[in-house]
Structure 1
Amino acid sequence: MTAAQFYRPPLGVLAASGLATLLWGSAYPFIKWSYYELQIGRNDTFEQLLFAGYRFTLAGLLILLFMLVRRESLGYQRGSMRTLMPIAVLQTVLQYTFFYAGMAMSQGIVGAVIAGTISFFQIVLAHIVYPDDKLNGTKTTGLLIGFTGLLVLGLSNSASGGFIFSLGEILLILSAFCSAAANLLSRKGAGLYSVSYINGYQMLIGGVVLLLISAWQTGIAPFHFHVASAFMLLHLAIVSAAGFMLWNNVMKYNRVGSVSMYLFLIPVFGVIQSAILLSEKLHAVVLVALLLVSLGIVVVNRRKRTKQAVQPTALNVSE
């Protein structure tokens, strides 16, 4: 069976998209769980960045190993650093600096809901950057629904006497914005280099930068890993490596608009897994916000079938 024969049929699309979003959704409880196992506190910023550095260095190496198995060239392609470095800084360094710090201050279910806003930020940025990808009535309606879900979370804090968004939630929103901006850079880079090359090397570069930023404060190996914590690190690396492989193949062999709606499964899976693995309570406010964000994602990704074009893309969602 060829890749096209697997990824084009509806069952293959459902299986690959479902597994990718399930993996991405699991990142939220696994990061919180890893913090507990390795005794990383909410204020241990450099320890959080070091752990992120471990994860993305390992994820980048896993993708390069995959390229090696497929006999793809691992050699540096002249001029590609101009593409790789901005993506590495935005997608891995900045996004996950905000993300890991934000997750240390927030519940896993809240982080999963906020992750759904990546699609909304991406649509707004595409409206600004691409003349042929402007907002229309359907997209605007979806954006309003989705951001209303985000506002519901904020107003719940305000009603309890806090700010409209906590510091942790603000950091997670900044992380979602960085991810959306990096997606546009990755989409542009995919026209010049393979998605494996771009993502493998940008994760490796970003992971090493995170290691260098944090190691001068923490040392390179301050953690005491055991079987459970080592498994969590490996799982998170696989989430980044395998999730991108599955999703980009789905996007390559199918119409973009016909599969983008599967992104609503990320916050759904994230909330469910956080509730199960972390025993976090599903408050009514979180469920309402989740419903609105998921509905917004479905609405903004509605397209007229006659306007769809099969095209490869390098969408990164992450967790």
Structure 2
Amino acid sequence: MHKLQNKILTIIACVLWGSAFVGGKLGFGYTTPIHLSGIRFTLAGLLLIPLLFYQKIDWKAHLKEWRYLLLFGFIQSFVQYGLFFVGLNMVDASISAIIIGGGPLFIALMAHFTLPDDKLTLRKTFAIILGMVGIVFVSVTSGSRLSLNTVFYVGVIILILSNLVGATTNIIVAKNRNRVNPIVLTAAANLTGGIMLYIASIFLEDWTLQIYPTKFYLIWIWLAIIPAAGFSIWYSLLKDPEVKVSELNIWKFLTPVSGVILSWIILPNEEPNISSILGIIIISIALITLQWQPQKRKG
């Protein structure tokens, strides 16, 4: 029952993250990528503060970890998601979703070299390579099919860099399982990273303070709920000693699947094509391969 509950929570988190690709693209119609990312994570951090008071967090003990919280906020929210939103602005939402789905490869490789109880097996290796084949296939064929300029491929590289940073944050959390409450970690990372992104947007982007349409505020609130809920779930799962980082993160292949489907349904300029469908099928097979556990023979 415990394992089933963990899988349900994992799926919820992945679908939430999948919806961020659509939310980001819709938000770019009103403001710039880094600015949108900054106000998104700042609000996400603020949304979690009432929950921290409800849980009666030991503030004194957690404030002693301010260096860790600040560093984590810089790495995850500022660097990882700053890169993510900049890359998303250069690449279609559906293609971005598929590229970000390659995250488990980097996480599994880092876990193999940094976590003694989370080594690569033949089955894991095959599943991850298969998943990456799907990512590469979609990236190359989409770039050729759309005859895009170098901006597309720069965006792909930026999204891959975001994956690398994301792998680092997962290892950091796994190595510090009991250091801070996962909700505290999520709130602090979102709030501090969001403020950093907002300040960076003032110097790096051209945007002005204004009253936006109601639709923008709804998009903003939804984008804030995604990391607030998604990372709270994820870091709670990573805190469980029975959960292996690489196997948990393989479920992130669901993020591109949900992201692509939502992009096709909601965004007017994106529609299914053969390369995207094949890429999704390959990634889905990779996920099933990794999750499949052969039954041991009795006797």
Q: Could you tell me the TM-score, scaled by structure 2's length? A: 0.85
- Given the superposition, is the C-alpha separation of residues 222 and 303 from structure 1 closer, same or farther in structure 2, using an over 3 Å criterion? farther
Instruction: Tell me the CA shift for residue 20 of structure 1.
Output: 2.3
Please list every run of 5 or more consecutive structure 2 residues that lacks an aligned counterpart in the other structure: none
Identity %: 26
> Which moves more between the two structures, 252-261 or 133-142?
252-261
Equivalent residue number for residue 290 of structure 1: 280
Report matched runs for 1:59-208 at 5 Å: 59-75=44-60, 77-157=62-142, 159-160=144-145, 166-208=153-195
- Given the superposition, is the C-alpha separation of residues 220 and 64 from structure 1 closer, same or farther in structure 2, using an over 3 Å criterion? farther
Equivalent residue number for residue 315 of structure 1: none
Instruction: Tell me the CA shift for residue 17 of structure 1.
Output: 3.4
- Given the superposition, is the C-alpha separation of residues 276 and 138 from structure 1 closer, same or farther in structure 2, using an over 3 Å criterion? same
Q: Is the 8 A contact 2:45 2:188 kept in 1?
A: yes
Q: What are the superposed Cα offsets for residues 224-260 of structure 1, whole Å, 9 maximum, x if unpaired?
A: 3221100110001001111223344456679526865
Equivalent residue number for residue 51 of structure 1: 36
Q: What are the superposed Cα offsets for residues 164-206 of structure 1, whole Å, 9 maximum, x if unpaired?
A: 9711111111111111111111222332111111111111111
- AA at the equivalent of 2:230: G
Instruction: Tell me the CA shift for residue 89 of structure 1.
Output: 1.8
Q: 1:210 aligns with which of 197, 213, 226?
A: 197
Report the aligned-residue RMSD: 2.9
- AA at the equivalent of 2:258: F
Instruction: Tell me the CA shift for residue 113 of structure 1.
Output: 0.9
- Given the superposition, is the C-alpha separation of residues 15 and 129 from structure 1 closer, same or farther in structure 2, using an over 3 Å criterion? closer
Instruction: Name the CA distance, whole Å, in 1 between partners of 2:172 and 2:64.
Output: 15
Instruction: Name the CA distance, whole Å, in 2 between partners of 1:269 and 1:263.
Output: 10
Equivalent residue number for residue 265 of structure 2: 276
Q: Is the 8 A contact 2:16 2:226 kept in 1?
A: yes
Instruction: Name the CA distance, whole Å, in 2 between partners of 1:130 and 1:254.
Output: 12
Instruction: Name the CA distance, whole Å, in 2 between partners of 1:220 and 1:162.
Output: 26
Instruction: Name the CA distance, whole Å, in 2 between partners of 1:67 and 1:221.
Output: 33
Q: Could you tell me the TM-score, scaled by structure 1's length? A: 0.81
> Which moves more between the two structures, 273-282 or 288-297?
288-297
Equivalent residue number for residue 2 of structure 2: 8
